[in-house]
Amino acid sequence: MSEFSGLPPVDRRLFVPETVWVVRDGRFVELSRTDAPEEWEKLVTSDEAIATQVKDRMWPMSSSSAPSVMAQMITALQLKAGMRVLEVGTGTGYNAACLAALGAEVVSVEIERAAADHARRALRAAGHPDVVVITGDGERGAPSHAPFARVLATAAAHTVPYAWIEQTEAGGLIVVPWAATFHPAGPLAVLAVRADGSAEGRFTAPVRFMPLRGQRLPQTALQETEERWAAAGKPEASRFGVTVTPAGQRIWLDSPDNPVG
């Protein structure tokens, strides 16, 4: 069984598809478990992100995250056994299985039907049939299963969907990778939900994730972000924070009284 530091002993090989994608000569090519079993095994048991769906052999659309990054995000959740967790972006189902193995009651939403079907099969095979996988838009959450104690997004956002806050109990946490809109590192946001219907938190270490389908940015966005960040003196991501209310959200530097942009 392949195991990774910071994660429960869930076998990643049960979740990664038989055919994945690797980069060769600047382009993605297929790597088949049948044709190259040793190479597939080495990749899946490594601490690497694995592309599982690619468009035009150039643009990754879905992936299995690097286990070390998964461990970092799960740690940020401050998870306790018995908590109900909303996962946005099921992918292969591996992350949901890790949450379930830690004692969470997991509801996961996946926008791609084929990926959701694959995850359900893999979760059953791995002994986690109680994980609920919903095919749908994760930005809407899963209102019929709310409230949640924790929300974990496995795709980057530049705007926190207010549905996530509405569906999270007071005192709950929302952990979401941030798109490179104010800091080029793409930091991780950890927000605490308040009883008044708002949420606030700071950014932590950098992580890299593909965006939510409805929150993709143009290719020029990163360059523009790097220019603004440099002009501001390259502050650390941890100096930034975000506040979300029913009226919208604001990014701030050092203090909520100092909004950015």
| pLDDT tens, residue by residue, 15-32 | 999 999 999 988 899 999
Do 83 and 95 have their domain in common? yes
Report the catalytic residues: 65
Q: How far apart are CA 30 and CA 37, in angstroms?
A: 13
Answer whether 90's CB lies under 8 Å from 111's CB: no
User: Per this entry, what is the length of the chain?
Assistant: 261
Do 32 and 149 have their domain in common? no
Q: Please indicate, yes or no, if residue 260 is contained in any of the structural domains.
A: no
Tell me the pLDDT tens digit for each residue of 70-104: 999 999 999 999 999 999 999 999 999 999 999 99
Do 60 and 117 have their domain in common? no
Do 55 and 93 have their domain in common? no
Instruction: Return phi, psi of residue 30, to 5°.
Output: -75, 140
Do 20 and 143 have their domain in common? no
Q: Please indicate, yes or no, if residue 6 is contained in any of the structural domains.
A: no
**Domain ranges, residue 144:** 67-253
If DSSP codes are grouped into helix, strand and coil, which group holds residue 98? helix
Do 17 and 38 have their domain in common? yes
pTM of the model: 0.93
Do 33 and 137 have their domain in common? no
Q: Domain count of the chain?
A: 2
Q: Please indicate, yes or no, if residue 1 is contained in any of the structural domains.
A: no
Residue 185 has pLDDT above 60, yes or no: yes
pLDDT for the residue 2: 59
For residue 58, give Cα distances in angstroms to 23, 25, 100, 222. Answer: 9, 11, 33, 18
Cα 115 to chain centroid, rounded: 15
Alpha helices for the chain (secondary structure H):
37-44, 67-77, 94-101, 113-125, 162-166, 220-231
Do 118 and 60 have their domain in common? no
pLDDT band at 261 (very low <50, low <70, confident <90, very high): low
Q: Please indicate, yes or no, if residue 3 is contained in any of the structural domains.
A: no
Do 242 and 221 have their domain in common? yes
The owner of tokens 């959701």 is 116
Do 49 and 87 have their domain in common? no
Average pLDDT score over the chain = 93
